[in-house]
Chains A and B, each alone.
Chain A
């Protein structure tokens, strides 16, 4: 089966800037795909080009193998969950969900609405107006409003950004589960690497209007193809031009044996994070590194002479 959504050399100029700079992507049917990047990298513009809110300067958007560049948003079978949710404030939760069904002339409204309310666990709140719903509930209405239309692709623009941190983590799990159960392709835009890593089947890391790398979360995190990707997905210790993740970095006494690569240094401090401890070490070469280690392995005092150790399989190098 071909990809449900394909972007071919997509370019979007705005007066004075190039927001999207030649993006090609192929997103398989039924997958959870993320566009990850810092703000201003063009990820939201890409989403808006797919939804039809913006017209590409060059290149094509293909849905189900068909070029849809000239189709209006209401003629494309994609649906967007907006960052602000964009619920209609004058309509109840139920009327918000019915809105798209009525526009498309889809019958059996009652059953579909009941099912989708159950699907997003919102049964009982249907008569409330958006102002009477909590942030999490508003998001569920926004999801239900789009999901009930069974879109080819559901576009999610930073959907978790407005939630408090605890709810955000819970919703990550739920969103992923919803995607699996619904079998609908999700395209998520986010600047939060943890979010992208934890939910996606595949993700594309974007920077300055271009795609830096596409791959599975493991691929992108463990085998980044550029220093930007390595740095954007997590912290990196740079030791002699080679990158090592803090959690792959071990601290050892100089006398301790081991087959790993090692480099001598001195402990400058430590940061207690609860579930682990970060030991800060200045290497003899002058480079500062952070080793993220278990609490039990962290009995170091500032001034201790130590060795920083790592396995060469954890090395990230870019030529």
Chain B
């Protein structure tokens, strides 16, 4: 065997031990019967999958999709102008990039708790607003869908900025000049030239934001206060308080299947010849 083929060995071992094996276990669990104190028991059954069609769970799934889509859309709206600004910056480009990545220097959990301290009734925002006399009772900023959305957009924004920045950075500046030369005002150039040509970055960023948002459980748990049940929290609950491992596994498999189908469809329409 050529030396080069060995380079992939660590990856194969890693993927087999930490992806394929756990996936096989989850898949197996999803077809077994729930144990009385958690865990799994014989016999094989598809009961867990039948339960997925309960309107209760379909609602959770739909809500998660809506939340993930909204987060992705908001991230795009905030990230695109920022990425464009950074890519066109003459000075301080590296500083701006560092600022985008700055949040990664602290743990996600710590940053999410920081939001709680900002948003809660006795938090910084409400205290400040009350001190100025603008409001008399605290605004309900925490433990609702809005707080979850805020947390998700905040948490995943860099994953949208960076891929878009990478494509904009490679964009031939002559194309922007050509657009102006042909009579396009800057805003027209953005929508007719820059946005279409940064499609690969937009697609990559959207995938990087949408998938983790769809399975998010930490943010909805902490900022939603358990009131916003998303599919991630549903899975978590099945393995902890509900002690229904087969059903939790079935939900996981369904989520994975949906993401795979979506990705496949997206990559198919992306592979159309562009340039």
Instruction: Write the residues of chain A forming the contact surface with B, with a CB cutoff of 8 angstroms.
Output: 51-53, 72-74, 78-80, 82, 84, 86-90, 99-100, 103-104, 129-131, 145-146, 149
Specify the chain B residue showing the minimal Cβ separation from A99: B182
On whether A149 and B183 interact (CB within 8 A), knowing A86-B174, A86-B178, the answer reads yes
In the bound complex, CA of A301 to CA of B231 (Å) = 93
Specify the chain B residue showing the minimal Cβ separation from A72: B180
Q: How far is the CB of A244 from chain B (nearest CB, A)?
A: 43
Is B197 an interface residue, CB under 8 A from the partner?
yes
Instruction: Write the residues of chain B forming the contact surface with A, with a CB cutoff of 8 angstroms.
Output: 172, 174-175, 177-185, 188, 192-193, 196-197, 199, 273-275
B177 touches A74 (CB 8 A): no
In the bound complex, CA of A99 to CA of B178 (Å) = 10
A80 contact set on B, CB distance < 8 A: 177-178, 181
12 A-B residue contacts at CB 8 Å? A51-B177, A53-B180, A80-B177, A86-B172, A86-B177, A88-B175, A88-B197, A99-B192, A103-B185, A146-B181, A149-B182, A149-B183
Q: How far is the CB of A112 from chain B (nearest CB, A)?
A: 14
A74 touches B185 (CB 8 A): yes
A129 touches B273 (CB 8 A): yes
Q: How far is the CB of B245 from chain A (nearest CB, A)?
A: 49
Specify the chain A residue showing the minimal Cβ separation from B193: A88
B181 contact set on A, CB distance < 8 A: 51, 53, 73-74, 78-80, 146
B184 touches A90 (CB 8 A): no
Most buried by B among A51, A88, A104, A149: A88
B275 touches A99 (CB 8 A): no
A131 contact set on B, CB distance < 8 A: 273, 275
A86 touches B273 (CB 8 A): no
Specify the chain B residue showing the minimal Cβ separation from A103: B183
In the bound complex, CA of A168 to CA of B172 (Å) = 24
A88 contact set on B, CB distance < 8 A: 175, 178-179, 193, 197
B182 contact set on A, CB distance < 8 A: 74, 79, 99-100, 103, 145-146, 149
B199 contact set on A, CB distance < 8 A: 90
In the bound complex, CA of A128 to CA of B98 (Å) = 41
Beyond contacts A82-B177, A88-B175: 19 other A-B pairs, Cβ-Cβ < 8 A, are A53-B177, A73-B180, A74-B180, A74-B182, A79-B181, A80-B181, A82-B174, A84-B174, A86-B175, A86-B177, A86-B178, A88-B197, A89-B274, A99-B184, A99-B192, A104-B183, A129-B273, A146-B182, A149-B182
A74 touches B183 (CB 8 A): yes
Top 8 A-B pairs, shortest CB-CB distance = A100-B182, A103-B183, A86-B174, A89-B275, A86-B178, A73-B180, A90-B196, A104-B183
A130 contact set on B, CB distance < 8 A: 275
B274 touches A99 (CB 8 A): no
Q: How far is the CB of B274 from chain A (nearest CB, A)?
A: 6
A100 touches B275 (CB 8 A): no
In the bound complex, CA of A84 to CA of B175 (Å) = 10
Q: How far is the CB of A185 from chain B (nearest CB, A)?
A: 16
B178 contact set on A, CB distance < 8 A: 80, 82, 86-88
A74 contact set on B, CB distance < 8 A: 180-185
Specify the chain A residue showing the minimal Cβ separation from B178: A86
Q: How far is the CB of B183 from chain A (nearest CB, A)?
A: 4
Most buried by B among A79, A90, A100, A104: A90
On whether A89 and B197 interact (CB within 8 A), knowing A74-B185, A84-B174, A103-B184, the answer reads yes
In the bound complex, CA of A53 to CA of B184 (Å) = 13
Specify the chain A residue showing the minimal Cβ separation from B197: A90
In the bound complex, CA of A103 to CA of B172 (Å) = 21
Q: Which of A84, A99, A104 is within 8 Å of B172, CB to CB?
A: A84
Specify the chain B residue showing the minimal Cβ separation from A73: B180
A72 contact set on B, CB distance < 8 A: 180
Most buried by A among B178, B180, B275: B178
